[in-house]
Structure 1
Amino acid sequence: MEKKQRPPVYYSEYLQLDKILNAQMPESAKEGIKADDEMLFVIIHQTYELWFKQILHELDIIREIFRQPNVADNSPDIYNSVHRLKRICTILTVLVDQISIIETMTPLDFLDFRDLLRPASGFQSIQFKMIEAALGLNYENRFGQEYYLSQLNQTDIDRVKKAEDEESLLVLLNRWLERMPFSNDEACWSGNAGENGNHPFWDSYRKTYAEGLSPVEQQNLATFDKLFMNENEYPSDRRLSSKASRSAFFIMLYRDFPLLQLPFELLSMLLEIDELLSLWRHRHIHMVQRTIGKRVGTGGSTGAGYLKSAADNHAIFKEIAELTSFLLPRHEIPELPAKLKDALSYNR
């Protein structure tokens, strides 16, 4: 079959450069006010929004993978998800570094045009709210709910609410972790119950963990029991289920086994995303303090105060991070049964 001839692709047309390079319309120019740094301000924020669009694209692909009824732990889908999460982390690193560029604008440079922007604000970034929702930040856990939708038009409110109605990556991750059998696979553990009728792995692990706690760490044991030993006492406010938390913890412990290496990388990338988002917010806080001091934001928020509270409250995957409280040194981690070792090493 003869290959269809396509018309030649021209660089500027392919990239729609006429639209992009003519999309900067500083308010100061409209008013005849000299404000040389407004062009930088516009381009920086347009660049942010382009990167936000790419992050949403990556998250859509990852969530589509995890919507499948079965995602094998060693499948190309898991590799693809980890690869795209790493890309998101790289993009977020660029977004953090990009603040250094806008920090070349001095407070007086910003005051040349700042009042012309009201009430426009980065708080109105629909794509960033959609990213947070896609990752798993739900409305109930948001700081400043009174501001959250107040500055948006109805079209954008509908877009945000639609994004929040979709299954987030955190919800899909919980479902995937619940399907992992290893930590509770009775066949691999020979079905022997522990001392208190619990699974033998968790009884053995608890004993070793308790022996290594210092007096000031004893409260950790009570938390360990709620998370891993008694499902009836499992905290109702956690987003990850008891079974999902057990699986995530098991992955952390036995990450060196081939079958768990990619799942561990996936969990690590999620924690990296939380860390980079927090770093971005804190860099933003320092930039705002340096540029406008204690002034309110152009959108009416408390400026740096709002940003700090959001940074402190918007960790999405903190329940995974908290599991590190219960890790043991490698030489103290319980030995796995031979059958389970084989399963985790592809020896089937």
Structure 2
Amino acid sequence: MDKKQRPPVYYSEYLQLDKILEAQFPESAKEGIKADDEMLFIIIHQTYELWFKQILHEINIIRDIFKQPNVSDNSADIFNAVSRLKRIIKILEILVAQISVLETMTPLDFLDFRDLLRPASGFQSIQFKIVEALLGLEYENRFGHEYYLSQLNEADINRVKSAEGQISLVVLLNGWLERMPFAHKSEYWLGENGNFWDVYRATYASGLSPNEQANLEVFDQLFINPDQYPAGRRLSQLAMKNALFIMLYRDYPLLHLPFELLDLLLEVDEQLSMWRYRHIHMVQRAIGKRVGTGGSSGAAYLKSAAESHVIFKEIAEISSFLMPRGDLPKLPEQLVADLCFNRS
């Protein structure tokens, strides 16, 4: 359609403000109870759900990028994924800051209407569960299985299970890292001096203090000995090797964006943790040791979930195995050329 033939767009119609602004129905008003802060409570949580919807939109774009059989370093794909992750992080920062607004509601203000909400609970936020699932939090790694689906209706249970059946960002990340050639090339990098991983291990070991010697055993399990690689990890040994290489040699042009992507995934985990811990303190402040409206143990449940729902922890572990730039094995000229943009 010609742009000139399109009907005019009106602000309130475009934003569907008639639906949004008329979507607040305080339970206290229905009961004739004076509870002035319930409006704030509703709007805050509606805002959360709108942001969750945007986060899901961004996650699905990133997943589509990494579903490709090959993500070309000459395309805009990695830059796009990095930009989307930055946006997700900014949204998560808003979610953390938004708790401060909710904390202007005192415990007594909350008690004016809290009992009217049972059994509704933030635990029933389907979108947040889907966010966690699509990022890579698996059902068996969730804390409190007995509560996870118990408070949901059948339609929402099916939505969550459908999300859990989709390929997660962690799985896609593993495939992307495995397709990188760096760990494969390492076997002949150093020629007479031995292969890369033997040289790196020796240098890494020499830099460990007596109290850190256990790190070397873990290093061998994760990067040297395939038969000892721990079962149940989300990233394979090959993926871990390439992730370590990216972090070590991130200063080369071709690795700038891959490193930034890995670093942003850690930031996503950090912001989710900050949101959970701010939520914990808010709940403790509002209801103390009471159980949640949905039947959970309240703040105690949130604390346990925050400690166990870390999605990209295997990437975070790599920091234990880094060394100073000045000690890094020198790369051969051909590999250096491959890591720069002026390749012929």
TM-score normalised by the chain length of structure 2: 0.97
Q: Deviations over 1:303-331 (max 9, x none)?
A: 00000000000000000000000000110
Instruction: In structure 2, give the amino acid aligned to 1:83.
Output: S
Q: Which residue of 2 aligns with 1:103?
A: 103
Q: Deviations over 1:19-48 (max 9, x none)?
A: 000000000000000000000000000000
- The yes-or-no answer on 1:204 pairing with 2:183 is no
> Per-residue deviation at 1:2?
5.8
Distance 2:259 2:313 in 1: 15
Instruction: In structure 1, give the amino acid aligned to 2:58.
Output: E
Q: Deviations over 1:220-276 (max 9, x none)?
A: 000000011111111112110000001111000000000000000100110000000
Instruction: In structure 2, give the amino acid aligned to 1:284.
Output: H
Q: Which residue of 1 aligns with 2:259?
A: 264
Indicate if the aligned counterparts of 2:65 and 2:77 stay in contact, CA closer than 8 A: yes
Q: Which residue of 2 aligns with 1:149?
A: 149
Indicate if the aligned counterparts of 1:188 and 1:339 stay in contact, CA closer than 8 A: no
RMSD of equivalent CA atoms: 1.4
Indicate if the aligned counterparts of 1:107 and 1:291 stay in contact, CA closer than 8 A: yes
> Per-residue deviation at 1:183?
2.8
Q: Which residue of 2 aligns with 1:30?
A: 30
Q: Which residue of 1 aligns with 2:178?
A: 178
Q: Which residue of 2 aligns with 1:136?
A: 136
Q: Which residue of 2 aligns with 1:284?
A: 279
Query: Which consecutive residues of structure 2, in runs of 5 or more, have no partner in the other structure?
Result: none
Distance 2:192 2:16 in 1: 65
Q: Secondary structure at the match of 2:24?
A: coil
Instruction: In structure 1, give the amino acid aligned to 2:262.
Output: L
- Percent of aligned positions that are identical: 73
> Per-residue deviation at 1:345?
1.0
Q: After the TM superposition, which parts of structure 1 deviate over 3 Å for at least 4 consecutive aligned residues? A: 1-4, 192-195
Q: Which of 293, 300, 303 is the matching residue for 2:295?
A: 300
Distance 1:347 1:235 in 2: 39
Equivalent residues, number = 343
Q: Which of 330, 334, 337 is the matching residue for 1:339?
A: 334
Distance 2:310 2:320 in 1: 17
> Per-residue deviation at 1:189?
2.3
Query: Which consecutive residues of structure 1, in runs of 5 or more, have no partner in the other structure?
Result: none
> Per-residue deviation at 1:3?
5.1
Indicate if the aligned counterparts of 2:244 and 2:318 stay in contact, CA closer than 8 A: yes
> Per-residue deviation at 1:212?
0.7
Q: Which residue of 2 aligns with 1:236?
A: 231
Taking the TM superposition and a 5 Å limit, the aligned residue runs for 1:40-189 are: 40-185=40-185, 189=189
Indicate if the aligned counterparts of 2:290 and 2:297 stay in contact, CA closer than 8 A: yes
Distance 1:74 1:170 in 2: 23
Q: Deviations over 1:105-143 (max 9, x none)?
A: 000000000000000000000000000001000001000
TM-score normalised by the chain length of structure 1: 0.96
Distance 2:123 2:331 in 1: 50
Indicate if the aligned counterparts of 2:58 and 2:88 stay in contact, CA closer than 8 A: yes
> Per-residue deviation at 1:346?
2.1
Distance 2:221 2:3 in 1: 64
Indicate if the aligned counterparts of 2:186 and 2:197 stay in contact, CA closer than 8 A: no
Q: Which residue of 1 aligns with 2:18?
A: 18
Distance 2:72 2:189 in 1: 21
Indicate if the aligned counterparts of 1:73 and 1:260 stay in contact, CA closer than 8 A: no
Indicate if the aligned counterparts of 2:183 and 2:238 stay in contact, CA closer than 8 A: no
Q: Which residue of 2 aligns with 1:319?
A: 314
> Per-residue deviation at 1:347?
3.3
Q: Secondary structure at the match of 1:246?
A: helix
Indicate if the aligned counterparts of 2:99 and 2:279 stay in contact, CA closer than 8 A: yes
> Per-residue deviation at 1:302?
0.4
Distance 1:193 1:155, change over 3 A: farther
